[in-house]
């Protein structure tokens, strides 16, 4: 099978749209500018830039290298310790700053009823045969609201 026939059968090689020779393709220009920029890098930077370009074009990135489990656990412990210290500092700053009355904090948190759903009115009583039956507690709730 010749190369030309292979390219015609395989859709990956065909471009999304065919351009006239005098049309400007922005994607190609962007790629060429990036390639030109890579030429000025040192060898190590060239490798990393080419790797990033391949990832950007759809290649799978290289897997991260494995760590020793003791080192990994030690890093986690240190991270948690830093978080605890930051929380303690924030608590000390909050204590030294303005303090709210505990009564006002308790009043602001409203207890939800059993059937209450975030501010929506719920159905009172029970329906049987198209008739709504209310209990004494339901009637008292209605009277308290008015």
**pLDDT tens track of the chain, all 146 residues?**
555 555 555 555 555 566 677 777 888 888 888 888 898 899 999 999 999 989 988 999 988 888 899 999 999 999 999 999 999 999 888 886 655 566 666 666 666 666 555 555 667 788 888 888 888 988 888 888 77
Give residues with Cβ within 8 angstroms of 122, minimum separation 6: 113, 115, 116
pLDDT for the residue 121: 60
Report the distance separating Cα 128 and Cα 139, nearest Å. Answer: 18
**Does residue 137 sit in helix, strand or coil?**
helix
Q: Which of 146, 138, 143 is nearest to 122 (CA)?
A: 138
**Does residue 102 sit in helix, strand or coil?**
helix
Give residues with Cβ within 8 angstroms of 125, minimum separation 6: 132, 133, 134, 135, 138
What is the dihedral sign for C-alpha 116, 119, 125, 127? negative
pTM: 0.34
pLDDT for the residue 113: 61
pLDDT for the residue 116: 59
């Amino acid at each position: 099978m010749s190369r030309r026939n292979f390219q015609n059968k395989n859709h990956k090689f065909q471009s999304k749209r065919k351009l006239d020779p005098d049309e400007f393709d922005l994607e190609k220009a962007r790629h060429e500018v990036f390639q030109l920029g890579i030429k000025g890098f040192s060898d190590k930077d060239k490798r990393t830039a080419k790797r990033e370009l391949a990832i950007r074009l759809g290649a799978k990135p290289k897997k991260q290298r494995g760590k020793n489990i003791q080192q990994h656990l030690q890093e986690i412990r240190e991270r948690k310790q830093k978080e605890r210290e930051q929380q303690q500092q924030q608590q000390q700053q909050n204590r030294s700053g303005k303090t709210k009355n505990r009564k006002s904090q308790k009043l602001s948190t409203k207890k939800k009823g059993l059937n209450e759903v975030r501010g929506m009115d719920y159905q009172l009583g029970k329906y049987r045969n198209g008739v709504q039956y209310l209990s004494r507690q339901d009637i008292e709730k209605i009277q308290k609201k008015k």
